[in-house]
Amino acid sequence: MNRVKTIADLARLAAVSKSTVSRALSDSPLIGRETKERIRALAAAHDFRLNIPARRLSLRRSNTIGFVSPACYEDSPVADPFTLEILGSVSNALHSRGYDLLMAHINPRDREWPKEYLISGRVDGFIVLTSSRKERDIAPLVEAEAPFIMWGVPSPRSRYCTVTGDNARGGRLATERLVATGRRRIAFLGGPAAELEVQGRQAGYEETLREAGLPVDPALIVYGDYSFASGAQLTPTLLRQAPDLDAIFAASDPMAMAAINCLRELGRRVPQDVAVIGYDNLSMAAQSSPPLTTVSQNLRLAGRLLAENLLQYLETGVVTHVCVPVELVERESA
């Protein structure tokens, strides 16, 4: 028995036309239930799969989304655990909508990459995760008029879709918890100062301090880049500038863990001497020792919204900006 490779083969077996097979497989209402079932059974029996490149050519649509992240930068890939966690939920959401997920390979010095993927029909749009170098990665997309959605706070007058966390509220929740447990010298171990999400969290942090009658002390505020490395580097700085600090609100879980590590090395106990709160609730947070109290962004939902709102944009052209809710996950570090 020779393999059934094309709808023509299947049509011959079923003694119908290619059109009918095509319609039966795509569940067209034009085809009678009985015919449809017969053809589908035949297809299943022969392990038949539609040829997808042919389908894409015919439909002039790739049903593929490009994932843009520093993990696939050409020169210096950045391995950020956040990327990987959100990648999983994006993949799930796209899969259930019948879309493939392509890792876009980016040369940050080149502005042609969106065209390379888009004009060539390899991708219908992009999901962009680019924590620290937003402008640089976004510009070529805007220039190429590429359909895309970004994780992060939109810049004013942006015409692209975004999904973001509620940063001001995240900053509030963390700071309120620290204030409520009696901390008075609370440090802000931030991400890049230029980022709107960092500013949002800082605003939440400062408001909460003021409401509690605590001063906002610049010596307690530093900016890093979300990485473990920057947490390890900045914690000693913080301790030097403010030896009496009794809490740290970090911009990411890796930063929080780096901070805990440094604090212990320098003889401070966590949470007794210094309470620490992270951000994102990555899988590592629950397993850290002590288990990390952290602000959860519901990355599962975030991934789904990134996928669904981009697909919706492709269909309708409607630009959406959504904000996923944020909650404090209380564990032992604060």
Partner DNA sequence: CTGAAAGCGCTTACAG
Angle at 44 between CA 43 and CA 48, to 5 degrees: 55
Q: Is 282 helix (H, G, I), strand (E, B) or coil?
A: coil
Q: Applying CB under 7 A, does 123 fall inside the site for DNA?
A: no
Q: How far is the CB of 61 from DNA (least distance, A)?
A: 9
Q: How far is the CB of 125 from DNA (least distance, A)?
A: 18
Sign of CA dihedral 134, 139, 142, 148: negative
Q: Applying CB under 8 A, does 261 fall inside the site for its own copies?
A: yes
**Listed residue (310, 331, 329) closest to 93, CA to CA:** 310
Per-residue interface string for the shown chain with its own copies, residues 81-120, x marking contact by CB under 8 A: x-xxx-xxx-xx-xx----xxxx-x---------xx--xx
**Listed residue (181, 300, 303) closest to 249, CA to CA:** 181
Q: How far is the CB of 85 from its own copies (least distance, A)?
A: 5
Q: Applying CB under 8 A, does 32 fall inside the site for its own copies?
A: no
What residues from 38 to 77 belong to the interface with DNA (CB under 7 A)?
50-51, 54-55, 57-60
Asked if 292 contacts 253 with a C-beta cutoff of 8 angstroms, the reply is: yes
Six-digit token string for 102: 């392509």
Q: Which does 7 bind (CB under 5 to 8 A by kind): DNA, its own copies, none?
A: DNA
53 vs 213, which CB is nearer to DNA? Answer: 53
86 vs 168, which CB is nearer to its own copies? Answer: 86
Q: Applying CB under 7 A, does 79 fall inside the site for DNA?
A: no
Give the pairing type, strands 275-280 and 247-250: parallel
From the list 32-40, 286-294, 297-305, 325-333, the region that binds DNA by CB under 7 A is 32-40
17 vs 289, which CB is nearer to its own copies? Answer: 289
Q: How far is the CB of 297 from DNA (least distance, A)?
A: 38
Q: Applying CB under 7 A, does 12 fall inside the site for DNA?
A: no
Burial level of 318, CB count in 10 A (0-12/13-18/19+)? exposed
Q: Which does 194 bind (CB under 5 to 8 A by kind): DNA, its own copies, none?
A: none
E strands, the chain, in order = 64-68, 100-103, 125-128, 148-151, 161-165, 186-190, 221-223, 247-250, 275-280, 293-296, 321-324, 327-329
Asked if 293 contacts 278 with a C-beta cutoff of 8 angstroms, the reply is: yes
194 vs 286, which CB is nearer to its own copies? Answer: 286
175, 199, 227, 294: residue in contact with its own copies (rule CB under 8 A)? 227
Q: Which does 8 bind (CB under 5 to 8 A by kind): DNA, its own copies, none?
A: DNA
**Listed residue (140, 173, 170) closest to 153, CA to CA:** 170
Largest CA distance in the chain: 83
Asked if 95 contacts 36 with a C-beta cutoff of 8 angstroms, the reply is: no
For 96, other C-beta atoms within 10 Å of its C-beta total: 11
Q: Applying CB under 7 A, does 17 fall inside the site for DNA?
A: yes
Rounded distance, CA 199 to CA 317, Å?
30
Q: List interacting residues with DNA (CB under 7 A).
A: 5-8, 15-20, 22-23, 25-26, 30-33, 35, 50-51, 54-55, 57-60
Binding-site ranges for its own copies (CB under 8 A): 47-54, 56-57, 62, 64, 67, 71-74, 77-81, 83-85, 87-89, 91-92, 94-95, 100-103, 105, 115-116, 119-122, 227-229, 232-233, 254, 257-258, 260-262, 264-265, 282-284, 286-290
